Structure 1
Amino acid sequence: MFSIHRSSYKYWSGRPKAINSDFVELCSEVKAAYRISNGSAGARTIAEIVTAKGIPLSRYRASKLMKNLGLVSCQLPKHAYKKATQEHVEVANKLDRQFAVTEPNQVWCGDVTYVWVGRAGLI
């Protein structure tokens, strides 16, 4: 068509592209934002972090950069508390489940109840 051989075009199109310093800086900012979030930030959050630093970045471009850099957002699971295998009693059981008392102020008992309100537990 333009008197260019197909093999020449394939060779030209497969050549390494010139490295753009802005692209390298943007990739390093995306990696830094990912590291700051301990790997939990997705494309939206990374775009917000990088944009807050003064470098404009859309979430779509952040998604493409994350894919090229091999960064995947991983949410850490909640901490699973171990169940105690043995009961650790620090105070002796003086009442021994004898709740019938003859006079007031002989025995005092209490109970701790946690009421979960949102993310905070109230006693």
Structure 2
Amino acid sequence: MGRWLAGRLMKELGLVSCQQPTHRYKRGGHEHVAIPNHLERQFAVTEPNQVWCGDVTYIWTGKRWAYLAVVLDLFARKPVGWAMSFSPDSRLTMKALEMAWGNPW
């Protein structure tokens, strides 16, 4: 069945295709190639607040993408700071770090 026939049959039956729009990342600026790897994949931490790590992820809210930045304490494996925004910029990560800095456990 060709796409035109499928479209005509769907129109006759009153069916509508509901496809999610694809998420397009914005191109970042200059990549920093010479960033040192201080952890060397050694994630065994003996005390709280020795090592924090972070991640930024995106969440579809139904109308637009929202971005969540989280700072984790590797000892407890729990978040110590987080922030949400509609733009994945440095302000988002700074808000998460500021919350973590004010709430170390």
Structure 2 length-normalised TM: 0.30
Structure with greater proportional helix content: 1
| Greater gyration radius | 1
